[in-house]
Amino acid sequence: MPAQRRIEQLETPAVLVDLDAVERNISRMRSYCAAHALELRPHVKTHKIPWIAHMQLEGAVGIASQKLTEAGVMADAGIEQIRLTFPLVGEVKWSRAARLAARTSLSVVGDSAIVAQGLSAALSPGCTVGFLVECDIGRWRTGVQSPEQALALAQEVVRLPNLRFAGLMTHPAPDASQAWFSAARELFARAGVELPAISVGGTPTAFETHKRVPAATELRVGTYVYGDRACLSNGVYELDDCALRVRATVVSRPTSTQMILDAGSKTLTNDSAEGVHDDLFGLILEYPQARLVQLSEEHGHVELPSASDRPAVGETVTILPNHACAVTNLHDRVILHRAGVVDRQIEIAARGAVR
């Protein structure tokens, strides 16, 4: 039997995933959704790995995916229930979606008639795709602006061949969501348009969904599988639940209060931790008072709380990144471990899937 390899021995920078934590996180969300009769739809954008998507599918209705290429990787791995949560615009995208729909059970989202009409025209006769109307409830991103606009687009979808109106969706689900969706329910009922589902998203508020948005029927969550500094800071996750970490090495101690790590924006991204306003780029677990104040592409710039020889050049540390999904997009592989013992290395098959 080969000797066990521990994560402390890995060359840095290295992206690690604690499999025990992943299993706990998946189980917790599954239990929550079951307890509150919410359909669970894990969003694969966080990990981008079919093997983990399959772990998440037990007790789930299917996956959410952001892009066609990402969805294609999941379909290639045998995943059939796929919801695309980014609007498809343009002939190439509609053709690609039609090909994906021919081999999966596909649903999509959109906030304009162009998206619905283009996809409808591209689909082969007999191939039906679910269409959810995206609603903007304070995120200021994609989405119709009112229940009235949602109804108008839903009615257009109902008219179009090859599409099935599949409900309303939003991300995230702010407090105003319940009133918004209640108004929509009433409006749709008056118009005689069936409203089959209301899908909300986002890990930070996930476990409050039954209280905050009782109208919701489906929960789309991505980050819950890994956790990150945003999840930790907003109190939804304990540190032990945060499965994704980055191991880094101290490569320079230019002064007694500064150190430089070999993990910069190419390893961690310059993303902030959503909802955290300290302008830091991660939490250094062994030195929680040290401040990761700036990233160059390869350098992590750290300010120490006071002059010290520790950590010395060559010491390794563990970083909890601000934003898990963005980290996995940078790397070709992650290393899975249990209690620090390396289990395997696994390809992030849908990394870089921007189209």
- Tell me which residues touch a copy of itself (CB under 8 A): 11-13, 45, 66-67, 86-87, 89-90, 92-93, 111-112, 114-115, 136, 140-145, 249-255, 258, 260, 262-263, 265-267, 269-272, 296-299, 301, 313-314, 325-326, 329-332, 352, 354-355
Amino acid at 260: I
Residue reference for tokens 């283009």 = 118
Distance (Å, whole) CA 150 – CA 131: 12
Considering the complex, what minimum distance in angstroms separates the CB of residue 323 from a copy of itself?
A: 9
What 3-state DSSP class applies to 254? strand
Nearer to a copy of itself, 212 or 351 (CB): 351
DSSP label at residue 58:
T
Considering the complex, what minimum distance in angstroms separates the CB of residue 9 from a copy of itself?
A: 9
Nearer to a copy of itself, 21 or 263 (CB): 263
Nearer to a copy of itself, 88 or 195 (CB): 88
Q: Are 294 and 301 in contact (CB under 8 A)?
A: yes
Q: Are 117 and 124 in contact (CB under 8 A)?
A: no
Half-sphere exposure of 18 (CA within 13 A, CB side): 20
Considering the complex, what minimum distance in angstroms separates the CB of residue 34 from a copy of itself?
A: 29
Amino acid at 111: D
Bridge partners for 247 per DSSP: 14, 318
Nearer to a copy of itself, 32 or 224 (CB): 224
Nearer to a copy of itself, 56 or 329 (CB): 329
Whether residue 172 has a cis bond before it, omega within 30° of 0: yes
Helix and strand element counts for the chain (H, E):
11, 17
Amino acid at 15: V
Query: What is the DSSP secondary-structure string of 136-201?
Result: -SSS-SSSBSSHHHHHHHHHHHHHSTTEEEEEEEESS--TTHHHHHHHHHHHHHHHT-----EEEE
Considering the complex, what minimum distance in angstroms separates the CB of residue 335 from a copy of itself?
A: 12
Considering the complex, what minimum distance in angstroms separates the CB of residue 10 from a copy of itself?
A: 9
Considering the complex, what minimum distance in angstroms separates the CB of residue 245 from a copy of itself?
A: 15
Nearer to a copy of itself, 253 or 337 (CB): 253
Nearer to a copy of itself, 33 or 109 (CB): 109
Nearer to a copy of itself, 289 or 297 (CB): 297
- Torsion sign (Cα): 105, 110, 225, 71: positive
What 3-state DSSP class applies to 99? helix
Q: 10 Å Cβ neighbour count for 160?
A: 17
Considering the complex, what minimum distance in angstroms separates the CB of residue 197 from a copy of itself?
A: 21
Considering the complex, what minimum distance in angstroms separates the CB of residue 61 from a copy of itself?
A: 22
